[in-house]
Amino acid sequence: MIGACAVGLSSTATVTKCDSVDELEGIFTNIGVSGNLGPISVGGEVNFASDWEPVGGTISTGIGAGVDVHMSGTKTKFELSGEKANPN
């Protein structure tokens, strides 16, 4: 994260171009910024697949203070459990 300091509480929404949730499995990189408009904190991220293809975006809004530019990585594993895992 680049920025002096950022702290806050936000709600987020993410939209992807994936057809189903199992396409989100794997390693993703998220690059974004956040800052303030008065007491309101706003931010946005672009979400990239492991081959750096943009697959979606995230927006956030809430309360907070500070400004940051950030990059984070996530690894998602999709698993079925219970009856759906063993349909036979």
* Strands 68-76, 26-37: pairing kind: antiparallel
The predicted-structure confidence for 37-58, as pLDDT tens digits, reads as follows 888 999 999 999 889 999 999 9
Residue 51 within a domain = yes
Total structural domains within the chain: 1
Q: What's the domain range around 67? A: 25-75
Q: What is the DSSP letter of 53?
A: -
Examine residue 12 and state whether it is found in any structural domain, yes or no.
no
Domain contains 69: yes
Find out whether 78 and 62 touch, Cβ atoms under 8 Å: no
Residue 87 confidence (pLDDT) above 80 = no
pTM: 0.71
Assess contact for 57 and 18: CB atoms under 8 A: no
What sign results for the dihedral spanned by CA atoms 17, 21, 24, 29? positive
Residue 2 pLDDT exceeds 60? no
